[in-house]
């Protein structure tokens, strides 16, 4: 047995293989090599005992785990266990073709008595242990806006709210609006002021109010890790040095010769870094900045460079924001695996770039195929808990990446397919301004061009209507969003993803070939393609890069 390939993570701060669904149910997961044929989990309350012939005995339950995913070299197994007493201890019995080994905190053993094993524990599950995301998050499709580039200023955003409502958008994600000299506003001079280029505080309040009237949430982007070197707090610290009340708020050092050195964001000298471990820094942002903008109507926060904010500051931010308004959403920009940041003590979700990478590789890389895409998604779905995925923000492109049109090399069919895969996955997806208008742009700053509102609709209307339709279907069929399981249906030429819950089953069928396919579906039934309401039978013709969302006519 290849024991070095078996992984189960159960730790105080990293417990991704023990998903606490509620106080009485836990999803246990384990990763193995492909030599494994079967996995059982042995479990019960740790304190239950009865008198046996040889003394006290721990009675236990033994259940088979289901293989719920695979990659090229791994299987993922999972099972949901009941724990009415709110606690568990457990170990695994793992089978290959030749032997059965026990796997516990003792490592790998064979034929040990239960009492001789140091088992995995889930201590008493309190209500506060259960990860809770805002209830509304899974119903929102965000639209990312750089106000200076979308429609000049905040008044321009207000003027386009009806346009966004018609598209199906119900969440505004605004890049920074604070006073700064740059167009992107991440180098903040004053966090307490709206940049005059964008308008006034009154304009921002009106924008939030009108968005709320249209059923939209308002999210504000902010950096707690760096500001402008023209920020008055930083200038005071540089001028007065250790005599400045703001000196502890920045990462500044003074050598014996009196020379100053300060840490910067991304090696950009004009963006000095805050010392987020300092209580005064957190106090400033929480009691002044966050408080002010939430009073004006902010429903959600996007934290720039969230992985560089100290744990202590994240905890204080989380507590303050959720105590101020419990259903506020906090999402952090993190590009790498971020399971440890999504918790009741830090973030509600993260920017899910892993989904973006999987989708774009599948659609745009000729060396990527159905199997690689399935493997990427399975790996992602076992790197995070299901709750974490449902509360994170998947996206295709943003102000930090080339636009989806450029990534897809001006292939509209590929853009549509990317939108399909984004809008039928877990989370609270974000669409970058202009995607629906087929805007182009390579790397920063070319990807931040102003919207051309005079452009003829004929040049982008097919992308617009597909975006609008997919958002509409996502809302009408929650099984396509956060209320449906994902299961792969095997086919040699098609990607088939089954999204199902107790109320509805839909099949997403994708042809990634560069030619039309005439083939047979493995599901023997009659369907409606809810994209165009065509009736579909088992034998299908599906165009190059085409897709269908099938609903069974007769269950």
Q: Residue 554: pLDDT above 80?
A: no
> Residue 14 — very low, low, confident or very high, per pLDDT cuts 50/70/90?
low
pLDDT at residue 54, rounded to an integer? 76
Q: Residue 55: pLDDT above 80?
A: no
> Residue 448 — very low, low, confident or very high, per pLDDT cuts 50/70/90?
very high
Rounded-to-integer distance, Cα 125 and Cα 139, Å: 28
- Kindly give the pairing relationship between strand 329-332 and strand 349-352: parallel
Residues 82 and 60 in one domain: yes
Q: Residue 384: pLDDT above 70?
A: yes
Quick one: tokens of 414? 């590929």
pLDDT at residue 442, rounded to an integer? 96
Instruction: State which of 480, 514, 535 marks the end of a domain.
Output: 480
Residues 216 and 295 in one domain: yes
pLDDT (tens digit per residue) in 180-221: 999 999 999 999 999 999 999 999 999 999 999 999 999 999
Percent of the chain's residues with pLDDT above 70: 99
- Cα separation of the two ends of the chain: 43
Residues 463 and 448 in one domain: yes
pLDDT at residue 13, rounded to an integer? 58
Instruction: State which of 455, 480, 505 marks the end of a domain.
Output: 480
The SS3 call for residue 438 is coil
pLDDT at residue 555, rounded to an integer? 61
Is 308 catalytic? The answer is no
Closest CA to 283 of 323, 366, 224: 224
Closest CA to 489 of 473, 502, 475, 505: 505
Residues 265 and 165 in one domain: no
- Kindly give the pairing relationship between strand 50-52 and strand 66-70: unpaired
Mean pLDDT, residues 14-42 taken together? 93
pLDDT at residue 502, rounded to an integer? 92
Q: Residue 401: pLDDT above 90?
A: yes
> Residue 53 — very low, low, confident or very high, per pLDDT cuts 50/70/90?
confident
Cα radius of gyration rounded to whole Å, the chain: 26
Mean pLDDT, residues 54-77 taken together? 91
Tell me which DSSP letter residue 395 carries: B
Rounded-to-integer distance, Cα 87 and Cα 40, Å: 19
**Token pair 């958008």 is at which residue?**
169
- Kindly report the length of the chain: 555
Mean pLDDT, residues 435-456 taken together? 96
- Mean pLDDT in the chain? 95
Residues 249 and 110 in one domain: no
Rounded-to-integer distance, Cα 173 and Cα 218, Å: 6
Instruction: State which of 429, 463, 480 marks the end of a domain.
Output: 480
pLDDT (tens digit per residue) in 406-434: 999 999 999 999 999 999 999 999 999 99
Residues 292 and 324 in one domain: yes
Higher pLDDT: 226 or 524? It is 226
Quick one: tokens of 322? 């959720």
Range of the domain at 234: 226-275
pLDDT at residue 49, rounded to an integer? 87
Q: What is the CATH number of the domain that holds 541?
A: 2.60.40.1180
Residues 212 and 234 in one domain: no
Catalytic, out of 333, 348, 379, 436: 333
Structural domain total, the chain: 4
pLDDT (tens digit per residue) in 473-496: 999 999 999 999 999 999 999 999
Residues 400 and 534 in one domain: no
**Token pair 């008055």 is at which residue?**
232
Mean pLDDT, residues 517-546 taken together? 94
DSSP 340-374: GGBSTTSBSEEEEHHHHHHHHHHHH-TT--HHHHH
What φ, ψ does residue 472 adopt, rounded to 5°? -60, -45
pLDDT at residue 12, rounded to an integer? 66
pLDDT (tens digit per residue) in 316-345: 999 999 999 999 999 999 999 999 999 999
pLDDT at residue 347, rounded to an integer? 97
> Residue 366 — very low, low, confident or very high, per pLDDT cuts 50/70/90?
confident
Rounded-to-integer distance, Cα 512 and Cα 494, Å: 7
- 134 within some domain: no
Residues 527 and 466 in one domain: no
- 529 within some domain: yes
pLDDT at residue 15, rounded to an integer? 67
Q: What is the CATH number of the domain that holds 246?
A: 3.90.400.10
pTM value is 0.94
Quick one: tokens of 124? 């008493």
Residues 424 and 333 in one domain: yes
Residues 513 and 382 in one domain: no
Q: Residue 247: pLDDT above 80?
A: yes
Higher pLDDT: 340 or 404? It is 404
Q: Residue 361: pLDDT above 90?
A: yes
Catalytic, out of 304, 348, 379, 397: 304
Residues 514 and 368 in one domain: no
Is 304 catalytic? The answer is yes
Q: What is the CATH number of the domain that holds 81?
A: 2.60.40.10
Q: Considering Cα of 454, then 455, then 456, then 458, what sign does the dihedral take?
A: negative
The SS3 call for residue 53 is coil
Q: Residue 524: pLDDT above 90?
A: no
pLDDT at residue 373, rounded to an integer? 96
Rounded-to-integer distance, Cα 175 and Cα 195, Å: 12
- 135 within some domain: no
Higher pLDDT: 13 or 210? It is 210
pLDDT at residue 167, rounded to an integer? 98
Q: Residue 311: pLDDT above 80?
A: yes
């Amino acid at each position: 047995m290849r024991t070095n390939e078996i992984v189960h993570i159960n730790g105080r701060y990293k417990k991704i293989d023990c998903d606490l669904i509620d106080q009485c149910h836990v999803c246990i997961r384990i990763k193995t090599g492909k030599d494994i044929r079967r996995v059982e989990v042995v479990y019960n309350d740790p304190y239950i005992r009865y008198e046996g012939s040889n003394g006290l005995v721990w009675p236990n339950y033994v259940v088979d785990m289901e293989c719920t995913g695979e990659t090229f070299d791994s299987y993922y197994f999972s099972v949901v266990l009941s724990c009415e007493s709110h606690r568990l201890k457990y170990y695994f019995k793992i089978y290959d073709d030749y032997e059965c080994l026990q796997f516990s905190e003792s490592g790998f053993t064979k034929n040990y008595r239960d009492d001789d094993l140091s088992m995995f524990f889930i201590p008493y599950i309190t209500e506060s242990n259960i990860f809770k995301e805002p209830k509304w998050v899974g119903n929102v499709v965000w639209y990312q806006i750089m106000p200076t580039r979308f429609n000049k200023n905040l008044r321009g955003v207000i003027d386009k709210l009806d346009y966004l409502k018609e598209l199906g958008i119900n969440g505004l994600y605004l890049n920074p609006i604070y006073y700064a000299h740059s167009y992107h506003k991440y180098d903040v001079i004053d966090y307490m002021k709206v940049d005059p280029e964008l308008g006034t505080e009154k304009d921002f309040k009106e924008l939030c109010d009108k968005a709320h009237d249209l059923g939209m949430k308002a999210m504000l982007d902010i950096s707690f890790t760096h500001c402008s070197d023209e920020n008055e707090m930083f200038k005071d610290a540089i001028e007065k040095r250790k005599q400045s009340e703001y000196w502890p708020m920045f990462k500044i050092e003074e050598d014996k010769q009196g020379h100053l050195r300060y840490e910067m964001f991304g090696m950009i000298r004009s963006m000095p870094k805050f010392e987020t471990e300092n209580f005064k820094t957190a106090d400033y942002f929480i009691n002044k900045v966050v408080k002010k903008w939430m009073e004006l109507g902010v429903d959600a926060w996007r934290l720039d460079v969230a992985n560089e904010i100290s744990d202590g500051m994240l905890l204080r931010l989380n507590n303050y924001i959720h105590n101020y308004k419990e259903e506020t959403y906090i999402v952090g920009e993190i590009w790498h695996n971020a399971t440890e940041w999504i918790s009741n003590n830090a973030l509600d979700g993260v920017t899910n770039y892993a989904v973006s990478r999987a989708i774009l590789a599948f659609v745009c890389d000729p060396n990527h195929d159905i199997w690689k895409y399935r493997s990427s998604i399975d790996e992602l779905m076992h790197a995070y808990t299901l709750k974490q995925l449902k509360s994170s923000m998947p996206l295709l492109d943003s102000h930090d990446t080339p636009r989806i049109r450029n990534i897809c090399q001006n292939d509209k069919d590929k853009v549509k397919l990317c939108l399909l895969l984004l809008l039928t996955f877990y989370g609270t997806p974000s669409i970058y301004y202009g995607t629906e208008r087929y805007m182009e742009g390579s790397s920063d700053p070319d990807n931040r061009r102003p919207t051309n509102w005079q452009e003829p609709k004929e040049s982008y209307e097919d992308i617009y209507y597909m975006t609008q339709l997919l958002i509409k279907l996502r809302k009408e069929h929650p099984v396509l969003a956060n209320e449906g399981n994902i299961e792969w249906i095997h086919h040699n030429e098609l990607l088939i993803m089954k999204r199902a819950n107790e109320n509805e089953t839909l099949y997403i069928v994708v042809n990634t070939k560069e030619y039309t396919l005439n083939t047979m579906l493995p599901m023997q039934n009659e369907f409606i393609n809810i994209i165009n309401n065509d009736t579909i039978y088992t034998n299908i013709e599906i165009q190059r890069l085409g897709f269908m969302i099938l609903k069974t006519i007769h269950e």
